[in-house]
Amino acid sequence: CENTSCAVFAGRSKLCSEKMRAQQQRSKRLSYRRNDEGRIRKRIAFRRRIFGLEIDYATDDSKRKAMSEKNFPEVVNEIHEKDARYGKGAYFFVREALDHTLKNIENSPKKDSGHVSGNQLLDGIREFALDRFGPMTMTVLEHWKVSKCRDFGDIVFNLVDYGILGRTDNDSPEDFDQGYDFREAFEKPFSPDSSADEKQEPSRN
């Protein structure tokens, strides 16, 4: 009997230990999930602000559901079917350039409320293009049929129209009109006689 009682006690102790381990694992997973969700919320909250554009999926429930069922390449294909002015690669480039601009703002000690002007966004696009493509930047942009800053604005607002980006009432593609000359911005920095200032900042139109 004593042996039986010991065996029952040992079995119950083992079962309790297994239940405790399982509960600890569930708590740990929940903690990780909450931490991840917290980081994601912070990131989304920051991405809501750039040039007055909300870098976030649409807030309308039905539109959000529809967009969640698509991936970015599918959206680009849909846009391109209705507006084939620009190469599909230009949309992927602009999305990456937006991320690059956001990271620069996030890491800047002078960051303000988060509102980014059209010119600031264009500067981020220029910097990202020069870093990515170097002296081939103009060739790549010409391949995409992107020849002026307003083209970047039209690409951004095509993404707005398809719910990838949000916007404020004061934003419009015309905000990109007062940009830089492409040859000065993308070719002159690689000219042998370019000064350091010319490589950093092109003149505005």
Each residue of 156-179: pLDDT tens digit? 999 989 988 777 777 788 889 989
- Determine the distance from the C-alpha atom of residue 184 to the mean position of all C-alpha atoms in its chain, rounded to a whole number: 27
The parts of the chain modelled with pLDDT lower than 50 are: 1-3, 5, 8, 40-68
Q: What is the pLDDT of residue 73?
A: 93
Q: What is the pLDDT of residue 168?
A: 73
Q: What is the pLDDT of residue 204?
A: 60
Stated pTM of the model: 0.65
At residue 117, φ and ψ (nearest 5 deg) are: -75, 165
Q: What is the pLDDT of residue 83?
A: 96
Q: What is the pLDDT of residue 120?
A: 79
